[in-house]
């Protein structure tokens, strides 16, 4: 399989990061979102991240110019996918929304195109079932921040073909990533292990065992984690953490995946972490949020 034209659906944190790495690796990329404002913000984020790479002498000004030149934007999904060899969906972690997007992707993308999702927990098999090409549907779970993190979980659904899996693995390597093939079960590998740990850290806080900074300090200094689980939850998004835990709890029917009541209440209160300005930590000043992101640059 030959990949030249890549479409990324969703210009948020994950979507613009995915578009960034494909364009930097030489692929023509269409970044699609319903809102022009989201696209403008996504391209601005890519530009800032490229500038950081220049400052650290990882790329040149020419590399930046060429990378940005490979990215075009589009608000019309039908036009965005019309020439795609691969479409990567990176919309919000909501099954109903993703299924609707995949129905439209399937209807308008070329017959040969692989349809991938960046979902971190939702069933690839379920997503594939709404298309007429389930053998060409696969998971490409990039890690945040995408330009920095090396791992890509490549998740094959029940009907995903060997050829599509192998092509996706090879493509991920071409991006400079380390792909790891996993099977389609709730949470896959990364979140099946990570989210219960984050949830337990929230339970530890909820039960009054220790405070936020104390819990994070124990995990950073005692377990050599680069970031404590509560700070990491803020960075991921508490709403995203809740959504993933709910998918896992629904999928396994095991109480160990039940979200902590504190997490539920924080999300209800609109405290999502870095993106909302407040979570377990205070990010009300934009500089604080940028400082957290810079730790991964």
Enumerate the β-bridge partners of residue 86: 6, 114
Same domain, 231 and 179: no
Same domain, 250 and 168: no
pLDDT greater than 60 at residue 233: yes
Please state, rounded to an integer, the average pLDDT across all residues of the chain.
Answer: 95
126 known member of a binding site: no
Last residue of a domain, one of 163, 183, 203: 183
279 known member of a binding site: no
* Residue 91 forms part of a structural domain: yes
153 in catalytic set = yes
CA dist list (Å): 191 to 13, 153, 162, 264: 18, 11, 24, 18
Write down the pTM of the prediction: 0.89
pLDDT at 289: 45
98 known member of a binding site: yes
Same domain, 136 and 277: no
Same domain, 139 and 201: no
> pLDDT tens digit string along 145-196?
999 999 999 999 999 999 999 999 999 999 999 999 999 999 999 999 999 9
pLDDT at 79: 98
Last residue of a domain, one of 183, 207, 239: 183
> How sure is the predictor about 295, in pLDDT bands with cuts at 50, 70 and 90?
very low
Domain residues for the domain of 239 are 191-292
pLDDT at 296: 42
pLDDT at 286: 54
Catalytic residue (one of 20, 28, 123, 141): 141
Catalytic residue (one of 120, 121, 123, 243): 120
pLDDT at 1: 81
- Residue range 107-113: mean pLDDT, rounded: 98
* Residue 200 forms part of a structural domain: yes
CATH number at residue 254: 1.10.1040.10
63 known member of a binding site: no
pLDDT at 279: 98
- Residue range 82-95: mean pLDDT, rounded: 95
pLDDT at 290: 52
Q: How many domains does the chain have?
A: 2
pLDDT at 284: 86
> pLDDT tens digit string along 6-20?
999 999 999 999 999
Radius of gyration of the chain, Cα coordinates, nearest whole angstrom: 19
* Residue 243 forms part of a structural domain: yes
14 known member of a binding site: yes
State the number of CA atoms in the 13 A half-sphere of 283 facing the CB. Answer: 21
List, as one string, the DSSP characters of 253-272.
--GGGSPPHHHHHHHHTT--
Same domain, 76 and 215: no
pLDDT at 294: 45
> pLDDT tens digit string along 249-290?
999 999 999 999 999 999 999 999 999 999 999 998 754 445
- Record the tokens describing residue 294, joined without a space: 């810079």
Catalytic residue (one of 118, 121, 123, 191): 191
15 known member of a binding site: yes
Last residue of a domain, one of 183, 218, 239: 183
Same domain, 204 and 173: no
* Residue 297 forms part of a structural domain: no
Same domain, 160 and 79: yes
120 in catalytic set = yes
* Residue 284 forms part of a structural domain: yes
Catalytic residue (one of 5, 49, 118, 153): 153
Same domain, 157 and 212: no
Same domain, 114 and 215: no
- Residue count of the chain: 297
Q: Are strands 137-142 and 114-117 parallel, antiparallel or unpaired?
A: parallel
pLDDT at 149: 96
Same domain, 93 and 155: yes
Same domain, 250 and 209: yes
Same domain, 162 and 49: yes
183 known member of a binding site: no
229 phi, psi to nearest 5 deg: -65, -30
191 in catalytic set = yes
- Record the tokens describing residue 150, joined without a space: 């090396």
């Amino acid at each position: 399989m030959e990949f030249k034209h890549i479409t990324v659906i969703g210009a948020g944190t994950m979507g613009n990061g995915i578009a960034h790495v494909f364009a930097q690796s030489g692929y023509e990329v269409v970044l699609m979102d319903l809102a022009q404002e989201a696209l403008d913000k996504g391209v601005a984020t890519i530009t800032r991240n490229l500038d950081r790479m220049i400052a650290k002498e990882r790329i040149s000004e020419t590399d930046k110019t060429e990378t940005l030149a490979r990215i075009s934007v589009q608000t019309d999904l039908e036009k965005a996918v019309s020439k795609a060899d691969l479409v990567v969906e990176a919309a919000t972690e909501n099954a109903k929304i993703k299924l609707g997007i995949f129905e439209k992707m399937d209807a308008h993308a070329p017959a040969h195109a692989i349809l991938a999702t960046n979902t971190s927990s939702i069933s690839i098999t379920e997503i594939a079932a709404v298309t007429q090409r389930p053998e060409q549907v696969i998971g490409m779970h990039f890690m945040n921040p995408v330009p920095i993190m090396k791992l890509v979980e490549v998740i094959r659904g029940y009907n995903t073909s060997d050829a599509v899996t192998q092509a996706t693995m090879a493509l991920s390597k071409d991006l400079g990533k380390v792909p790891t093939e996993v099977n389609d079960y709730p949470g896959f590998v990364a979140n099946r292990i990570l989210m219960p740990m984050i949830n337990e850290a929230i339970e530890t806080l909820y039960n009054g065992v220790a405070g936020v900074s104390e819990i994070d300090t124990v995990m950073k200094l005692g377990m050599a984690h680069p970031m404590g689980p509560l700070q990491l939850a803020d960075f991921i998004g508490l709403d995203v953490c809740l959504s993933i835990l709910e998918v896992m709890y629904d999928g396994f029917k095991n109480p160990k995946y039940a979200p902590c009541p504190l997490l539920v209440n924080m999300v209800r209160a609109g405290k999502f972490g870095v993106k909302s300005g407040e979570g377990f930590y205070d990010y009300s000043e934009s500089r604080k949020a940028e400082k957290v992101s810079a730790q991964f640059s």
